[in-house]
Amino acid sequence: MVVNNFPDRILEIDGTAYLYFGGTSYLGIATHPEFLQLLSQSLQQWGTAYGSSRNANITLSVYERAEALLAEKTGAGAAAVVSSGTLAGKIVTEHLLQNGVRFYHYPKTHPAILVTNSLPLLDAHGTMHPDLLNDKNEPIVITADAVLGLATGPTDFDFLNTISKSKKITLVLDESHSLGLLGEQGWGIFKSLNKYQLDRTIMVSSLGKAMGISGGVIASDTHFIKTIKNDALFVSSSGANPAYFDTFLKAQHIYEAQQEKLKKNLEFVRQHLKMQPKLHFNHNYPVIYVISDTIFATLQREKIIISSFKYPTYQMRMNRIVITSNHTTDDLKILIELLNSFEI
């Protein structure tokens, strides 16, 4: 399906209007009128792009201010902003690979933080890799998503307690689908991982989902971020669009208001949606997953479009019904009445 404008709560296909419950603009920031007005002002100040290295002799103050806010809010010692979440993941993993450490990945981890020859943390039966249980003293890297592709809540990291205490664990956490939504004031789950015995925690994330800006972020302890900012891949990459980060700094009140709207929408769904075995919903997360080969076509006939696609790390087709801050109560009523009438 090809559309000619941003798909917010309504999209038009071949002249027909559909309610849209898809995408990743969870907070509806991408079309928020005040946010767009602020962005227009920021573009006047910072231009459309900044192609120089972050380590050039001319530096832009907006990057450091955005990094300071991201570090403070997520609970990290420091942060570095880059042009995308995928680049954030690649910078971190390629840097860690230089140390020759062994990588393990949690099931279904996003390709941005998967490396060649990474070993599965768990087998098909949920049994932990035996090398993580022995007494060999060694550094290891574990990569995992804060929220998995077909999950409706944060990953349970208690598996970390099972790993041998002889392992020096660096955890690389992808927060692309949790930042802005989960944790204290929606600033992700990075801070909550302090309870585990980890040598280092590194968060990478796209800022193009709930946060609605073009860019990515790496957050960790001050020493690691200082090292990353001297990494060849970081130094040789153009900086992210500074106008977006200027708007991000000025729009904190908008994020907070949109988060409240989303909470109200999710509570409405919780109160009225009839749960079924193949329908997965958690009122703290804005996605309904439906295990069905027919749900997309069925809803399309009722003038509703959802996200439905084949994801690289899953065998089955992913059917995501996304609730955003911009959906109205009437939108939700239409969706819920239809879902309640189906036997899924």
Q: Give the separation between CA 109 and CA 147, rounded to whole angstroms.
A: 9
Query: β-strands 16-21, 200-206: how paired?
Result: unpaired
- What does the block give as tokens for 13? 């296909």
- Position 149 scores a pLDDT of 80
Residue 334 contacts by C-beta under 8 Å, 6 or more apart in sequence? 19, 304
pTM metric for this prediction: 0.95
Location of each CATH 3.40.640.10 domain in the chain: 50-240
Q: What are phi and psi of 59, to 5 degrees?
A: -120, 150
- What does the block give as tokens for 99? 């140390």
- Position 314 scores a pLDDT of 58
Question: Which contiguous run of DSSP H or E holds residue 218?
Answer: strand 216-220
Q: Give the separation between CA 264 and CA 258, rounded to whole angstroms.
A: 10
The yes-or-no verdict on residue 216 having pLDDT over 70 is: yes
Q: Which tens digit of pLDDT belongs to each residue from 118-137?
A: 999 999 889 999 999 999 99
- Position 318 scores a pLDDT of 81
Dihedral angle over CA of 338, 322, 314, 171, nearest 10: -150
The number of residues in the chain equals 344
Q: Give the separation between CA 134 and CA 187, rounded to whole angstroms.
A: 35
Residue 343: pLDDT band with limits 50, 70, 90: confident
- What does the block give as tokens for 95? 């840097």
- 50-240 sits in which CATH class? alpha beta
- What does the block give as tokens for 112? 């941005």
Q: Which tens digit of pLDDT belongs to each residue from 65-102?
A: 999 999 999 999 999 999 999 999 999 999 999 999 99
Average pLDDT over residues 217-233: 98
- Position 315 scores a pLDDT of 63
Q: Identify the residue with better confidence: 266 or 55.
A: 266
- Position 317 scores a pLDDT of 75
Helix 61-74 vs helix 242-250: crossing angle, to nearest 10: 50
Among the CATH numbers 3.40.605.10, 3.90.1150.10, 3.30.365.10, 3.90.470.20, which is that of 10-33+253-341? 3.90.1150.10
Q: Which tens digit of pLDDT belongs to each residue from 169-180?
A: 999 999 999 999
Residue 222 contacts by C-beta under 8 Å, 6 or more apart in sequence? 77, 78
